[in-house]
Chain A
Amino acid sequence: MKAREKTWPWRLLLVVILLGIAAGTWGAVSKIDYKWRWYRVPQYFMYLAEDAQKIPFDGKVTAVVKGNKNTKVTVVSESAETKTIQVTSDTLKVSEGEDLFAGDTVGFTKTWRLGPLMLGLWTTLWLSAISSVFALILGLLTGIARVSKNITLRGLAMVYVECIRGTPLLVQIFIAYFFLGTVFNLSRNVCGVGALALFAGAYVAEIVRAGVQSIPKGQMEASRSLGMTAFQTMKDIILPQAFKKILPPLSGQFISLIKDSSLVSVIAITDLTKSGREIITSTFATFEVWIVVAAMYLLVTSVLSQLVFYMERRLAVSD
């Protein structure tokens, strides 16, 4: 009997190789004159915003009530108008009895806000989510049209798929924005979502077609022989089985879509990529920001693939 092969030397080798790559990169970077400024990055996730609180009229401070965190300042104008302003205690700039002019700053309020990286991530997420939904609907319909008996439907689907698959996404986004967007007066978000959905839809269609064709012909025949209509057969028999098979390629397509959504930054949609570019213009922390942006994309796509992995296991019950 053959002894079970040891795996730890290979694991060790893997770690050594990865460490080697990391060390090599580190060595190369340290040779060039680049000053790392990681401390500049966190503020672009979240920051404490200070908003100046100003008075709208000339007046006099009549009362300053200091609380633990916030302070209430009451100002009365010459025409006996009263206004109470709340500011964060440690930013208070006035004292009781002081005369103020319109536009003077009483103090500041501090609140936590999401930085451009988080807002960009949010834009990327909803853009991809909406595009995915449309792509799935479009791909499902086109995929079924591709296997339809009707020549017109089949032809339409084929022209659509070939046109989309034969042109670069970047060019499609430009056409969607500069041509279709101008002609039909569409907003940039609509154009971006539209271009992404059309693009992914063509690929989803091919995946759906392959999935439907992978189901043995006997399934269709058995279902039809029981008197079920073509539509019922598709819905109850073919698509549920096809869906299980196409889940891995389909999830790959949606992960691609999240990554491809970075291209809409060229039509000035402030997604994660464009946020990164904007941050770089004000920090010059090029290396750090791009690494962070890449890590954020990676995080999102990993979560998605884990989710799909879980679904695959759930669907494997009947195997």
Chain B
Amino acid sequence: MIKADNVVKVFSSRSGEVRAVDGVSTEVARGEVVVVIGPSGSGKSTFLRCINGLETFTEGHIFIDGVDLADKKTNINKIRAEVGMVFQQFNLFPHKTVLENLTLAQCRVRKRSKKVADEKAQALLKKVGIPEKAGEYPSRLSGGQQQRVAIARALAMDPKVMLFDEPTSALDPEMVGEVLDVMKQLAREGMTMIVVTHEMGFAREVADRVIFMDEGKVVEVGTPEHFFTNPQEERAKLFLKQVL
């Protein structure tokens, strides 16, 4: 499904070069839920953003369903339509209603009719538990509701993969649960997911595999049981000691 092969991302600035992602290779199978954890600045978000082309990577290859993102001839918009993304800051379109947020890309990219898109949007709002908010503007919604709308917006494109970039980090603690519940439900339904998060409980419960990153490199990979109970690497042990 997704195959990353020695991905390197270098940020150049006046003070020198930063290797934000430094030779990451991994594979994600269809239906698999992969949770990426690691300290701030470890490159996990940058790696995630490389997967749907929001960041161009410096070296290596990422294949999505066999299509190479590093290939200049690849139509990145087509790939993105298949790869849903949920952001830390929700990034809903504030000038459009919740329903319009969900239908816009369906109509523009998937070329669906207004009616079909509306039905799809309503069904998804029901699924994330806020069908009554369809006509509201995002500014009237709580953070948790906004993030659920953002998930529904990504799902409206019928993506093959969903990427979550710290989806609960900007939320009030009491709203984290409602968003995680939606994500758990998605995982149970067999959606392929890559989740960057600090929610260790979620990782433990839902992940098929945990990837621990530090300083742009993959330090340790394993099942949640293995990772949380018996990590091999010193850096991972230290990290877990701090967060658990």
Besides A224-B77, A318-B137, 9 new A-B residue pairs in contact (Cβ under 8 A), listed by A number:
A218-B89, A221-B54, A225-B54, A225-B84, A226-B109, A227-B82, A228-B105, A228-B109, A241-B94
Asked if A236 is at the interface of the complex by the 8 Å CB criterion, the answer is: yes
Question: What string of 1s and 0s marks CB contacts (under 8 Å) between B117-155 and chain A?
Answer: 000000000000000000001010000000000100110
For residue B72, CB closer than 8 A to chain A, the reply is: no
Given A225-B80, A227-B80, CB of A240 within 8 Å of CB of B108: no
Size of interface on B: residues with Cβ below 8 Å to A = 30
**Pairwise interchain contact B81-A226, C-beta atoms closer than 8 A:** yes
In the complex, chain A residues 65-106 whose Cβ is within 8 Å of any chain B Cβ: none
Does residue B35 face the partner (Cβ distance < 8 Å to A)?
no
Residue of B nearest to A229 (CB): B77
* Chain A neighbourhood of B105, CB < 8 A: 223, 226-228
**What are 14 sample pairs from A and B whose C-beta atoms fall under 8 A apart?**
A218-B91, A219-B93, A221-B54, A221-B85, A222-B150, A225-B54, A225-B85, A226-B104, A227-B81, A232-B108, A240-B95, A244-B95, A318-B95, A319-B137
Q: For A237, list chain B residues within 8 Å (CB).
A: 93
Interface string of A228-250 (1 = CB under 8 A from B): 11001000110011001000000
Residue of A nearest to B104 (CB): A236
Query: A319 vs B154: C-alpha distance in the bound complex, in angstroms?
Result: 23
Complex: how many Å from CA A173 to CA B241? 72
Chain A CB within 8 A of B210 CB: no
Whether the pair B94, A318 counts as a contact (CB closer than 8 A) is yes
Least Cβ distance of B62 to chain A in Å?
Answer: 15
Residues of B within 8 A of A (CB): 52, 54, 77-85, 87, 89, 91-97, 104-105, 108-109, 137, 139, 150, 153-154, 157
Q: Which residues of A contact B93 (CB under 8 A)?
A: 219, 222-223, 237, 241
State how many angstroms separate the Cβ of A91 from the closest Cβ of chain B: 64
List A contacts of B54 (CB < 8 A).
221, 224-225
User: Is A317 interfacial (CB-CB < 8 Å)?
Assistant: yes
- Name B108's contact: one of A216, A218, A222, A228 (CB within 8 Å): A228
Which chain A residues border B137 with CB–CB below 8 Å? 317-319
User: What is the size, in residues, of chain A's interface with B at 8 Å between Cβ atoms?
Assistant: 21
| B77 neighbours in A (Cβ, 8 Å) | 224, 227-229
> Which residues of chain B have C-beta atoms less than 8 A from A229's C-beta?
77
A236 to B52 CA separation, bound complex (whole angstroms): 21
Q: Which of B91, B92, B109 contacts A227 (CB 8 A)?
A: B109
Tell me how far the C-beta of A165 lies from the nearest C-beta in chain B, rounded to whole angstroms: 29
Which residues does A use to contact B, with CB under 8 Å?
Answer: 216, 218-219, 221-229, 232, 236-237, 240-241, 244, 317-319
| Overall SS of chain A's interface | helix
The CA of A318 and the CA of B100, in the complex, are separated in Å by: 12
Contacts of B104 in A (CB 8 A): 226, 228, 236
- State how many angstroms separate the Cβ of B55 from the closest Cβ of chain A: 10
In the complex, which residues of chain A have a beta carbon less than 8 angstroms from the beta carbon of B78?
A: 227
Least CB separation from A243: chain B residue: B95
Q: Which of A226, A236, A241, A318 contacts B153 (CB 8 A)?
A: A226
Task: Assess whether B95 is in contact with A227, with CB atoms less than 8 Å apart.
Answer: no
Closest CB in chain A relative to B195 CB, distance in Å: 15
* Chain B residues whose C-beta falls within 8 Å of the C-beta of A221 in the assembled complex: 54, 85, 87, 91
**Residues of chain B within 8 A of A219, CB atoms compared:** 91, 93
> What residues of B have a CB within 8 angstroms of the CB of A222 in the complex?
85, 87, 91-93, 150
- Report how far A151 CA is from B16 CA in the complex, Å: 23
Q: Bound state CA distance, A221 and B48, in angstroms? A: 13
| CB–CB B91/A319 < 8 A | no
7 closest residue pairs by CB, A with B: A227-B81, A222-B91, A226-B105, A218-B91, A225-B85, A227-B109, A318-B137
Which residues of chain A have C-beta atoms less than 8 A from B94's C-beta? 241, 318
Query: What is the CB-to-nearest-CB distance from A237 to chain B, in angstroms, rounded to a whole number?
Result: 6
Which residue, of B94, B150, B157, has the highest number of chain A Cβ atoms within 10 A? B94
Residues of B within 8 A of A244 (CB): 95
Report yes or no: B80 in contact with A226, Cβ–Cβ below 8 A. Answer: yes
Q: Chain A residues with Cβ under 8 A from B154's Cβ?
A: 225-226
Q: Which residue of A lies closest to B54 (CB)?
A: A221
List, in ascending order, chain B residues with CB within 8 A of A223's CB: 93, 105
* Bound form: Cα–Cα A156–B216 in Å: 39
Rounded to whole angstroms, the CA-CA distance of A225 and B155 in the bound complex is 12
Whole-angstrom distance between the alpha carbons of A216 and B92 in the complex?
Answer: 11
Contact of B157 among A216, A218, A226, A319 (CB under 8 A): A226
A243 vs B109: C-alpha distance when bound (angstroms): 24
Shortest Cβ distance from B109 into A: residue: A227
Residues of B within 8 A of A226 (CB): 80-81, 84, 104-105, 109, 153-154, 157
**B137 nearest in chain A by CB position:** A318
CA distance A83 to B157 in the complex (A): 80
